[in-house]
Amino acid sequence: MSRKLIAGNWKMHKSVAEAVATIDAFVDMIERRQDVDVVICPQYLCLPKLHEVLHRTHIDLGAQDVFWIDSGAFTGQLSPAMLKEFAVTHCIVGHSESRGRFGKLEVPKSTLSYFGETDETVNLKTKALLYHSIAPIVCVGENIDERNEGRTDSVIRVQLGGGLADIEGEEMTNFAIAYEPVWAIGTGQTCDPEEANRVCKLIRDWLVENRPGAEAVRILYGGSVKSSNSKELLHQPNIDGALVGGASLDAKEFCEIVMSA
Q: Is 168 a catalytic residue?
A: no
Count of residues touching ligand PGA (by CB under 6 A): 13
User: Among 185, 220, 234, 239, which residue sits at the site for ligand PGA (rule: CB under 6 A)?
Assistant: 185
Stretch that binds ligand PGA, among 64-72, 114-122, 166-174, 240-248 (CB under 6 A): 240-248
CB of 166 to ligand PGA, least distance (A): 26
Query: 54 or 139: whose CB is closer to ligand PGA?
Result: 139
Give whichever of 130 and 244 is closer to ligand PGA, judged by the CB atom.
Answer: 244
**Does position 223 bind ligand PGA by CB under 6 A?**
yes
Given the residues 117, 146, 180, 253, the one annotated as active site: 180
The residue annotated as part of the active site, out of 95, 97, 117, 142, is 95
Nearer to ligand PGA, 59 or 185 (CB): 185
Instruction: Figure out which of the listed residues 8, 80, 193, 245 binds ligand PGA, where binding follows CB under 6 A.
Output: 245
Is residue 9 close enough to count as binding ligand PGA by CB under 6 A? yes
DSSP string across the chain: -PPPEEEEE-TT---HHHHHHHHHHHHHHHHT-TTSEEEEE--GGGHHHHHHHHTTSSEEEEES---SSSSSS-TT---HHHHHTTT--EEEES-TTTTT--GGGPPPGGGHHHH---HHHHHHHHHHHHHTT-EEEEEE---HHHHHTT-HHHHHHHHHHHHTTT--GGG-SS-EEEE--GGGTTTS-PPPHHHHHHHHHHHHHHHHHHSTT-TT-EEEEESS--TTTHHHHHTSTT--EEEESGGGGSHHHHHHHHHH-
Q: Any contact of residue 214 with ligand PGA (CB under 6 A)?
A: no
- Binding status of residue 241 toward ligand PGA by CB under 6 A: no
Does position 186 bind ligand PGA by CB under 6 A?
yes
Q: Which of 62, 55, 11 is nearest to 174 (CA)?
A: 62
State the catalytic residues.
95, 180
Report the interface residues with ligand PGA, using CB under 6 A.
Answer: 9, 180, 185-186, 222-225, 243-247
